[in-house]
Amino acid sequence: MKKIVYAGLFTFFVSVISFTARAESTVGYFGFEPDIITNYISPSSKKMGYVRVTIDLMLNDTSDIVIVEHHTPLLRDALVEIFSKESEEKIKSLTGREEIRAKCAEKLKSLLKEETGQEIIREVLFTKYLYH
C-alpha cells in the first residue's frame, strides 16, 4: 500500500512542478507594425509581384521586447531584403515559405546576437502570408 501512496505523491509533485514552470513562463511576443510588404520579380512575366507578411517574434523573455523595439529598423530591413531576393516559386510554395521563415529566423537571431550579445529570439512566426 505504501508504494501506491508514494507513487501518488510523486505524480502530484511532478504535476505541481510542471504547473509552476508553466505559470512562471516569461515568453514574450513582438509583432512588426505595419506588415512587411515588398516586391519580387516574376521570371515568367515582366510584371512585379508582391508579398505581404505579418511577422511575430517569439522572445525568450518579456523584458526583451524593449530591445527588439529599439532594433526594429535593422530587423525590418533584413526581412525586406530576404523577401525581395526570393523567387516567385519559393514565395508561392509551402516548402519555400518554410525555408524563407527559417532564413528570416537565422538572420534576425544573428543580427540581435551581434548587436546585444544575447540570444533574444526563440522563434519567428508568419501569422499572415499573402502574395500576388
Whole-angstrom distance, CA of residue 60 vs CA of residue 51 = 28
Q: Check: pTM over 0.85? Answer yes or no.
A: no
C-beta separation of 120 from 60 below 8 A: yes
Question: Is the distance from CB of 50 to CB of 40 less than 8 angstroms?
Answer: yes
128, 53, 57, 66: CA torsion to nearest 10? -120
pLDDT of res. 79: 97
Give me the residue spans of the domains in the chain: 27-131
Which pLDDT does position 7 carry in this prediction?
Answer: 46
What parts of the chain have a pLDDT lower than 70?
Answer: 1-24, 44-45
Q: Looking at the domain that runs over 27-131, which CATH code has it been given?
A: 3.30.479
**Given this model, what pLDDT does residue 132 score?**
87
